[in-house]
């Protein structure tokens, strides 16, 4: 009897030891990824990532989007993934986030692809082309027209994964300290304008300047530049351009629907558990839609305030000038489409989708807009 009890005790003790071992293994997964190393279970590991942006911290619309992304990721991951958002210049300069994420200085970036034209000129196809597709058309091409596959292939040599992270819709034409009545008024004009639109301006004798958003007000106020575009009434009002510029022009021929992007360090993203990768993608899609909705809702309110409170009277660019700008725009787009085998493939895909979607929109959105003005 005594021997039997001893055996049962030994067996029970072994079970307790085994359970304790399992408990310790499970508890080990709750540590931070940076401090616990490879011994941590990837599906219970905690992560602390950095997200750098091209926008001022918490700036309405553009700056809110990465904050919303971080909030959604943390909530959906039940706190396993925490993301700290850095505004432009807090960790890296606004126009250097591409390099920072590629090098792994930060795991995520939020900006616009035309900012990297000096490094990857083909990237401009994935932000906005002057007189190109509008926001809904761009989103359709990227998601269902083969654009995303080409975008991913373009960024792969830089160890980056792109995702849609917002859309501004059709922008305004910009703020000017002189009246624009013809192409001659662009001669010598120093204007902050990014992407291919800067090439168009240059062909008209203007001087394109690429500046981050947080430098625009002071640069326009002090005469470093003569004009600037930003986005639309909601964001323009927040910057206060109405206090320092005389003329507000439309339409935004240069950016008819700018795609904002998230970029992820490829190695670090692919090392994540599959569920966290999917959470990231889902949050990016949610932010993409939210930005479009927010601009649609708030632009009309901001425009009303600009007009009724600040006395701003938006002016339309003359039709003959718009025609000239359109013709030059098509030239620079087609030239961009011939600089490399990759650009040729992207250009062909873009043009094919553009032709098809515009044929439909002529009897859909455009026809409806004309009908409700009757």
- Over its length of 374 residues, how does the chain's per-residue pLDDT go in tens digits? 333 333 333 333 343 333 333 333 333 333 344 433 343 566 789 999 999 999 999 999 999 999 999 999 999 999 999 999 999 999 999 999 999 999 999 999 999 999 999 999 999 999 999 999 999 999 999 999 999 999 999 999 999 999 999 999 999 999 999 999 999 999 999 999 999 999 999 999 999 999 999 899 999 999 999 999 999 999 999 999 999 999 999 999 999 999 999 999 999 999 999 999 999 999 999 999 999 999 999 999 999 999 999 999 999 999 999 999 999 999 999 999 999 999 999 999 999 999 999 999 999 999 999 999 99
User: Alpha-carbon distance 14 to 3, whole Å?
Assistant: 17
Nearest of 45, 36, 140, 105 to residue 353 by alpha carbon:
140
> Residue 126 class from Cβ within 10 Å (0-12 exposed, 13-18 middle, 19+ buried)?
buried
Q: What is the DSSP letter of 249?
A: E
Is the CB of residue 283 less than 8 Å from the CB of residue 73? Answer: yes
User: Alpha-carbon distance 170 to 133, whole Å?
Assistant: 10
User: What are the φ and ψ backbone dihedral angles of 182, each rounded to 5 degrees?
Assistant: -160, 175
**Fold held by 45-167+258-296:** D-Maltodextrin-Binding Protein; domain 2 (3.40.190)
pLDDT value of position 214: 86
Residue intervals of the chain classified under CATH 3.40.190.170 are 45-167+258-296
User: Alpha-carbon distance 39 to 342, whole Å?
Assistant: 42
User: Alpha-carbon distance 162 to 125, whole Å?
Assistant: 13
pLDDT value of position 373: 94
Residue intervals of the chain classified under CATH 3.40.190.10 are 174-256+313-353
Is the CB of residue 273 less than 8 Å from the CB of residue 42? Answer: yes
Which CATH number, 3.40.1780.10, 3.90.380.10, 2.130.10.10, 3.40.190.10, labels domain 174-256+313-353?
A: 3.40.190.10
User: What are the φ and ψ backbone dihedral angles of 180, each rounded to 5 degrees?
Assistant: -115, 110
* Chain centroid offset of residue 251 CA: 21
């Amino acid at each position: 009897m005594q021997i039997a009890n001893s055996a049962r005790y030994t067996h029970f003790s072994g079970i307790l030891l085994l359970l304790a071992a399992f408990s310790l293994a499970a508890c080990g997964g709750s540590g931070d990824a940076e401090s616990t190393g490879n011994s941590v279970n990837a599906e219970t590991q905690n992560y602390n990532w950095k997200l750098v942006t091209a926008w001022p911290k918490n700036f309405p619309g553009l700056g809110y989007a990465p904050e919303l992304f971080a909030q959604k990721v943390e909530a959906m991951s039940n706190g396993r993934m925490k993301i700290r958002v850095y505004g432009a210049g807090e960790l890296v300069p606004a126009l250097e986030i591409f390099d920072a994420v590629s090098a792994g200085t930060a795991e995520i970036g939020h900006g616009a692809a035309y900012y990297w034209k000096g490094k990857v000129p083909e990237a401009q196809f994935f932000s906005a082309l002057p007189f190109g597709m509008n926001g809904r058309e761009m989103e359709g091409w990227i998601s269902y027209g083969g654009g995303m596959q080409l975008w991913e292939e373009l960024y792969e040599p830089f160890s980056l994964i792109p995702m849609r992270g917002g859309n501004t819709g059709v922008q305004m034409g910009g703020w000017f300290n002189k009246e624009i009545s013809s192409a001659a008024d662009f001669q010598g004009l120093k204007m902050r304008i990014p992407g291919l639109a800067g090439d168009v301006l240059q062909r008209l004798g203007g001087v394109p300047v690429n500046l981050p958003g947080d430098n625009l007000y002071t640069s326009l106020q002090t005469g470093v530049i003569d004009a600037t575009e930003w986005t639309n009434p909601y964001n323009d009002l927040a910057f206060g351009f109405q206090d320092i510029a005389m003329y507000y022009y439309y339409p935004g021929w240069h950016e008819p629907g700018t795609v904002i992007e998230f970029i992820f360090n490829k190695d670090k993203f692919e090392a994540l558990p599959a569920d966290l990768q999917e959470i990231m993608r889902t949050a990016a899609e949610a932010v993409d839609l939210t930005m479009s909705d927010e601009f649609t809702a708030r632009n009309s309110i901001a425009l009303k305030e600009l007009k009724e409170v600040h006395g701003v009277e938006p002016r339309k660019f003359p039709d003959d000038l718009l025609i000239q700008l359109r013709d030059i725009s098509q030239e620079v787009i087609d030239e961009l489409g011939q600089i490399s085998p990759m650009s040729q493939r992207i250009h062909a895909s873009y043009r094919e989708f553009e032709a098809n979607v515009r044929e439909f929109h002529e009897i859909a959105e455009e026809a409806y807009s004309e009908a409700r003005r009757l």
